[in-house]
Structure 1
Amino acid sequence: MKLAVAGGTGTVGMHVVEVARERGHEVVVLSRSAGVDLVTGSGLSDALSGVDAVVDVASTQTISAKESTAFFAAVTRNLLTEESAAGVGHHLALSIVGVDAAPHGYYAGKVKQESLVRAGAVPWTILRATQFHEFAAQIRSQTSFGPLTIIPRMVSQPIAAREVAERLVDLAEGPPAGRVADLGGPREERMAEMVRGYARAIGARGLVLEVPIPGAYGRAMRDGTLVITNDSDHGSQTFDQWSAAQAR
């Protein structure tokens, strides 16, 4: 089948592209580097010609609810409009566990994305996943000031981006399924400990300071809102295993 991957050069997207091609699918990458602007819709019409399913893993780096909502609203509307025109039969969106219970900051955009997908004319599937193992490295790079790294107090259940990609391709190969079971990692972790473990694995030194984020957004980070429930699915690779692989 022919799959289009929105955000196909990102943390999860590159794995989705790799897994899909390993399974023999034709893959179209929807990204600026491939001549497609998801925010404006430029290049989408031609890129979606003959596509059977679209996997949307596009993302943006912001903690602003306004900016996140504007991004995901624009991208989702453009995708759904052009998919409908091209006769695409399946729109598959990756979302985040717990967003409806914590519709703040970046998560506000994901809530908007889900609502647009549900209301759209293209048959759909939504998979919610927890944060990826790679998030520890990303947040460390964004919040380090010399030898000091400041990490929000957060309980997570991280999963390998590769395992999320495999599940997404599984779903894309099947019919639209609506909201499917959430996907999370094998165990809960504290974000500060993840960052410390990653730093040790790559031989980095410095102090990691854990601080609580105020308000409802910070409370959701701390109280387990963003981890999976008993009826969710689990990945297999632990964060420690992933970190060891980065060191190698």
Structure 2
Amino acid sequence: MRIAVAGATGRLGRHVVDVLTERSHQVVPMSRATGVDVITGDGLAEALTGADIIIDVASWHASEQEAATEFFRTSGRNLQEAGRQAGVSQIAVASIIGVDKATTGFLAAKKLHEEFLWSGPLAVRILRAAQFHEFVGQLLDWQEGEVAYVPALPTQLVACRTVAEELVDHALGEPSRGTPIPEIAGPRRETLAEAATLLGARRGVKVVAVDGAGMPDAELAADGAFLPSPHAKLAGPTFEEWLATQP
């Protein structure tokens, strides 16, 4: 099967490409690095020629809601239209657990991303994932110095590789009608600060847990709004197990 991957060189996209390649699918990696731009449309029609399915893991690089919303609006419209013209059967997209409850910030933009895709002509299959293990490193990277302040908000972190495997299964599997949007999360519930403390110890950074005030929808997050629902699949290594495998 010929599968086009939008965002193929990103954090999740690299794993999606690896999984598809290991399973002997013909992969068309789409990113600006490969000459395909989902925003301007450059190279998109050519990349989608002969494609059966699009897997959309392209994402905006910052948390500002308005810019992220515009990115997802444009990319969603372009993928739907170019996919229709190329005869693609469907789009599978990675989203985030709890976006249906979000009111502001990146998650609210991601909620609109789902809606933009649903409004197009192609069938859409969504997988909502918990925050990635890799996100913890970002939290520390954003704060330079020997001390990092990380919110003690509950999460159920999941490995990117685990999400990629589940997304490919979802994209290629039989549709399940009348069921909730599937979710994938890691096996252990913890706080972001707890996970960051493990990584901080490796990096020589002291992590101080804070209440998350000022973060988008912090009160919702504290109440567990972005934790996996009872129907979620729990899979992959814990953050501690994953960290032990990292160089």
Q: What TM-score does the superposition give when structure 2 sets the normalisation length?
A: 0.94
Please tell me whether the aligned partners of residues 8 and 14 of structure 1 are also in contact (alpha carbons under 8 angstroms): yes
Q: Cα deviations across residues 78-133 of structure 1 (Å, max 9, x unaligned)?
A: 10010000000010011000011113100122111111222211011011010011
Secondary structure of the residue aligned to 1:237 is coil
Which 10-residue stretch deviates more, 58-67 or 172-181? 172-181
Structure 1 residue runs without a partner (length 5+): none
After superposition, the Cα gap between the structure-2 partners of 1:236 and 1:215, relative to the gap in structure 1 and judged at 3 Å, is: closer
Secondary structure of the residue aligned to 2:122 is coil
Whole-angstrom CA distance in 2 between matches of 1:211 and 1:155: 11
Q: Calculate percent identity across the aligned residue pairs.
A: 38
Please tell me whether the aligned partners of residues 125 and 177 of structure 1 are also in contact (alpha carbons under 8 angstroms): no
Structure 2 residue runs without a partner (length 5+): none
Please tell me whether the aligned partners of residues 102 and 111 of structure 2 are also in contact (alpha carbons under 8 angstroms): no
1:236 is displaced (CA, Å) by 3.0
1:102 equivalent in structure 2:
102
1:155 equivalent in structure 2:
154
Secondary structure of the residue aligned to 2:136 is helix
Whole-angstrom CA distance in 1 between matches of 2:18 and 2:82: 24
Please tell me whether the aligned partners of residues 130 and 227 of structure 1 are also in contact (alpha carbons under 8 angstroms): yes
1:213 is displaced (CA, Å) by 2.1
Whole-angstrom CA distance in 1 between matches of 2:141 and 2:215: 24
Query: Which letter maps to 1:221?
Result: A
Whole-angstrom CA distance in 2 between matches of 1:244 and 1:164: 19
Secondary structure of the residue aligned to 1:226 is coil
Secondary structure of the residue aligned to 2:74 is helix
Whole-angstrom CA distance in 1 between matches of 2:48 and 2:176: 21
Whole-angstrom CA distance in 1 between matches of 2:171 and 2:209: 41
1:32 equivalent in structure 2:
32
After superposition, the Cα gap between the structure-2 partners of 1:25 and 1:215, relative to the gap in structure 1 and judged at 3 Å, is: closer
The CA RMSD measured in Å over matched residues stands at: 1.6
Q: Cα deviations across residues 29-48 of structure 1 (Å, max 9, x unaligned)?
A: 11000001111111101110
After superposition, the Cα gap between the structure-2 partners of 1:175 and 1:44, relative to the gap in structure 1 and judged at 3 Å, is: farther
Whole-angstrom CA distance in 1 between matches of 2:243 and 2:215: 31
1:132 equivalent in structure 2:
132
1:199 equivalent in structure 2:
200
2:2 equivalent in structure 1:
2
Please tell me whether the aligned partners of residues 89 and 123 of structure 1 are also in contact (alpha carbons under 8 angstroms): yes
1:209 is displaced (CA, Å) by 4.3
Whole-angstrom CA distance in 1 between matches of 2:141 and 2:26: 34
After superposition, the Cα gap between the structure-2 partners of 1:215 and 1:152, relative to the gap in structure 1 and judged at 3 Å, is: closer
Whole-angstrom CA distance in 2 between matches of 1:57 and 1:9: 10
1:207 is displaced (CA, Å) by 4.1
Please tell me whether the aligned partners of residues 4 and 51 of structure 2 are also in contact (alpha carbons under 8 angstroms): yes
Secondary structure of the residue aligned to 2:39 is coil
2:71 equivalent in structure 1:
71
After superposition, the Cα gap between the structure-2 partners of 1:180 and 1:207, relative to the gap in structure 1 and judged at 3 Å, is: closer
1:221 equivalent in structure 2:
221
Query: Which letter maps to 1:132?
Result: F
1:210 is displaced (CA, Å) by 2.1
After superposition, the Cα gap between the structure-2 partners of 1:215 and 1:14, relative to the gap in structure 1 and judged at 3 Å, is: closer
1:189 equivalent in structure 2:
190
